[in-house]
Structure 1
Amino acid sequence: MGSSGEEEEEQLIQMVRDFIELGGGSTKPTSPSSSQSPKFHHKSTFSTLQDILTRVTDAETEILEKILIYLKDMEVVEQTHNLKKLIVKRLRRDGFEASICRTSWVATFGRPSGDYEYIDVMMKDNNGGTGTIERVRLIVDMDFRSQFELARPTSTYSELSTSLPSIFVGSEEKLMKIIPLLCSAAEQSLRESRLHIPPWRKASYMQSKWLSENCQKISLFPE
């Protein structure tokens, strides 16, 4: 258990380093050349995903910028443990209503049980500059891209998955658009590689991580 936890922490720390070195942006995949004759479906899926990712609200931008500042302030990242907890602590110190959200779900037909943790932020947002102030819930995942990694992915799936941000800040609605796209592409990649499609790679399982109704907010720090 300890070894596994340390490996996960090391992977997360490396992801943070990579994210900072890239200036906070996602990896920009190289556009396929016409000589490769990519399938129209892949082009459409990739274009749809980019359209979803580039639609960013003021609230999402504010939280992501705060997180990047926090990460850059952590001079000795190698000694940083419980990164999600530290991010929540800094957000709360800056006046945001943030907490760790722990989801869990029971096994159903075709979907094994599981649990997951991410950061939950409740804040006010100027609805597209219309002057209408709305209370919005943002989901923050510090290790988002890796959740969609596959063994032996096809080149088209690699292009799709590497365009995801390593740190996700967005709404439930945005996730509900992203997850089916990636899971459908993942299943196609596994089929083309003649690999079994495990239940934890299907949309119903992936949605349970962030969108499960059984969500427990954990207040980690005293007011």
Structure 2
Amino acid sequence: MDLAMLVTDFLENGGTGGADSRASSDSDSALSDHLADNISIYKQGGDEKENELLSMVHSLLFSIHESDLLAFKRGQCSASCIRHLLVKLLRYSGYDAAVCVSKWQGFDKIPGGDHEYIDVIMNSDTEYRLIIDIDFRSHFEIARAVDSYDSLLNSLPVVYVGTLPRLKQFLHVMVDAAKWSLKQNSMPLPPWRSLPYLQAKWHSKYERIDLHIEQDFHSTASDHALCIGHLKRLKSSLQSELDTERLLMMPIKTDMKRRAKFERRRRRSLLSF
């Protein structure tokens, strides 16, 4: 059963009792596993350039100090401070990076809005660009989420770095997951978590903003408490994500070493004949 059928089956049959309830529970589990598998596949779907940029972004974010945020003018302090600093560091590293601001008008039941993210032009001739969103998981937070939805949410990249098509794959999965979670609490999907609204954030017309940091040499940490808190949470989440990935890779590396050792022994035994 493919993803669309799993979602449809759950939304139509979830919440019944008896044997139907057991069948619904099986469908629920199958859908959760399917969504988790898709997220895992999409996380590994980046090419060499995407992976190199992702590694660079991680390193640069860890290099940002709280004191760096104090250079921003008071009242300007938000996650935007971190984005502008990251763009500055990316440019120092040779990347054509910029803060982008997208805006869109409301349509049907979808509200209008705006969104700020980073892009990196990888090829000026083809306008091949990669998207960087430093607060990726926040776009999918929902009320009264079931445990399995929270697990899916926490399996998403802390910072998204990649192409628009791969980003769209994550959006499809998380919208289906949100519908599935909210259905269990008899709650509708809010417009700001719908696929059209989420797509509008990165697919709408945008403007690349000139890098201009208006400095304030008299500001203090208390003036930038919100942004400093955001930076701390971002670094903590990133570190947790990297630690988890290392733990998951350890059995694979151990198994590869074991196989290599076995192969060397096998070759020596063959040569001894």
TM-score normalised to structure 1 length: 0.73
Q: How has the CA–CA distance of structure 1 residues 46 and 77 changed in structure 2, closer, same or farther, with 3 Å as cutoff?
A: farther
Are 1:70 and 2:60 counterparts? yes
Partner of 1:47: 37
Partner of 1:209: 201
Distance, in Å, in 2 between the alignment partners of 1:78 and 1:96 is 20
1:204 Cα deviation (Å)?
Answer: 0.5
Distance, in Å, in 1 between the alignment partners of 2:172 and 2:106 is 20
1:136 Cα deviation (Å)?
Answer: 2.6
Task: Name the SS of the counterpart of 1:112 in structure 2.
Answer: coil
Are 1:218 and 2:209 counterparts? yes
Task: Provide the aligned length of Structure 1 versus Structure 2.
Answer: 178
Are 1:148 and 2:148 counterparts? no
Deviates more, 1:93-102 or 1:38-47: 38-47
Distance, in Å, in 2 between the alignment partners of 1:204 and 1:50 is 23
1:75 Cα deviation (Å)?
Answer: 3.4
Distance, in Å, in 1 between the alignment partners of 2:149 and 2:56 is 31
- Report which of the two structures shows the higher radius of gyration computed on alpha carbons: 2
More strand by share: 1
1:208 Cα deviation (Å)?
Answer: 0.6
CA contact (8 A) 1:146 1:166 kept: no
Deviates more, 1:73-82 or 1:111-120: 73-82
Q: What letter is aligned with 2:105?
A: V
Are 1:107 and 2:99 counterparts? no
Matches within 5 A, 1:66-105: 66-76=56-66, 79=69, 81=77, 82-105=81-104
Task: Name the SS of the counterpart of 2:135 in structure 1.
Answer: coil
Are 1:168 and 2:168 counterparts? no
Distance, in Å, in 2 between the alignment partners of 1:192 and 1:39 is 13
CA contact (8 A) 1:104 1:215 kept: yes
Partner of 1:188: 180
Distance, in Å, in 2 between the alignment partners of 1:162 and 1:104 is 28
Task: Please give the root-mean-square deviation of Cα atoms over the aligned residues, in Å.
Answer: 2.3
Are 1:197 and 2:189 counterparts? yes
Are 1:158 and 2:150 counterparts? yes
Of 22, 41, 46 in structure 2, the residue corresponding to residue 56 of structure 1 is 46
Distance, in Å, in 1 between the alignment partners of 2:62 and 2:51 is 17
Q: What letter is aligned with 1:43?
A: D
Distance, in Å, in 2 between the alignment partners of 1:78 and 1:216 is 25
Q: How has the CA–CA distance of structure 1 residues 209 and 135 changed in structure 2, closer, same or farther, with 3 Å as cutoff?
A: closer
CA contact (8 A) 1:144 1:166 kept: yes
Structure 1: unaligned runs, 5 residues or longer:
1-35, 125-132
Structure 2: unaligned runs, 5 residues or longer:
1-24, 71-76, 214-273
Partner of 1:122: 121
Partner of 1:137: 129
Q: What letter is aligned with 1:218?
A: I
Q: What letter is aligned with 2:160?
A: F
CA contact (8 A) 2:191 2:197 kept: yes
